[in-house]
Amino acid sequence: MLRLERRIEPSRKMVSITPLLAVVLTMLAGGLLFALLGKNPVEAIRIIFWDPLFGQTAFYTRPQLLVKAAPLILIALGLSFGFRANIFNIGAEGQYIMGAIFGGGVGLAFYPSESIFIFPLMILCGALGGILWAMIPAILKTRFNTNEILVSLMLVYVAENLLAAMSLGLLRNPEGRGFPGSRNFQEWDSVFNAEIWTGTGAHYGVLTAFAAVVLCYVVLTRHLFGFHIQVSGQSARAAKFAGVSPNWLVVACLGIAGGFAGLAGVFELTGPAGQISIDFNVGYGFTAIIVAFLGRLHPVGIMLAGLLMALTYIGGELAQFQLGVPAASIQVFQGMLLFFLLAVDILVNFKIRLKTRETA
């Protein structure tokens, strides 16, 4: 018999080990899942984690690692501010969409002008779009004490409907013969977010993501704002005594998350996606939640977790193509990461002990 014994203080060692343990358990459970689907589990895991980096297609798939990781890292960094302060923004997917709509709409207003100022303006407006969308749950939370989890989540579906309306209406390509979707930004030199160095996959969104890792590390570990977030996350009452305004912290954390998600949206729009369409959003906002917790809400950890999650995206696509596994199984595989992380996190605060039978 096993029993849980509470630790005197949380184990720092387990804080570092449990994400790796969660990855290993995910591989084992994922292998079982693929076996139930009638696929070779060892081959499936190899295709997902090894082939994109070192397989025959690595020359083409390796640059995509940065492309896929950049939006995940940006969004997860923004979410980490609120999560550290126990402010749970689950609506980053909606803020990501609104960033693309705002940035894309401003860009299309200048079409077909060729100016170096259009792309920076789109970036600013994309960030603003995400911030404004995040301010809805922030204001409702601070003024009416609503639950930011529910409000931000419900706003994702509102944003998805706005995306569909824009794709079919205001932002639809007038030369698209009636098909939904905006003009292709990849065909517009002034705003195309192309590779900076050929063959690397690195575009301005990738550079912004890695710069944001450094910036967030400094803010969270060396700035007073980071101290306020830490204190608020540990004890809201102690934070009030320290002079931290709870309402201001809610607005600031949601605003940062919205701004980062909006940036990810506009970089994705002008880069890999290329246009505003009904299926523009692919779940980056939700996957970034897994990335944030897998990275322990630490900027460097988030960067590594984002790269790992991007690897599962690319490897999952290879597995669908080579083994014929359904796309839903890859999504389940990614979701297992979060569930196993939450499960093994109990080892941070508890020890597993062998329960001896009591004698008379």
- C-alpha dihedral sign at 28, 29, 34, 37: positive
Contacts of 33 (CB under 8 A, 6+ apart): 329, 332, 333
Per-domain residue ranges of the chain: 40-324
How many residues belong to the chain?
Answer: 360
Angle at 304 between CA 302 and CA 308, to 5 degrees: 110
pLDDT in tens, 231-255: 998 888 888 887 889 999 999 999 9
- The Cα–Cα gap between 278 and 167 comes to 6
pLDDT in tens, 3-60: 888 888 888 888 889 999 999 999 999 999 999 999 999 999 999 999 999 988 888 8
Question: In Å, how far are 21, 24, 41, 47, 332 from 34, measured between CA atoms?
Answer: 20, 15, 5, 12, 11
- The Cα–Cα gap between 204 and 207 comes to 5
- Is the per-residue pLDDT at 360 higher than 60? no
- Is the per-residue pLDDT at 206 higher than 50? yes
Topology annotation, domain 40-324: ABC transporter involved in vitamin B12 uptake, BtuC (1.10.3470)
Q: Indicate the Cα dihedral angle 192, 198, 203, 207, nearest 10°.
A: -150
pTM recorded for the entire structure? 0.93
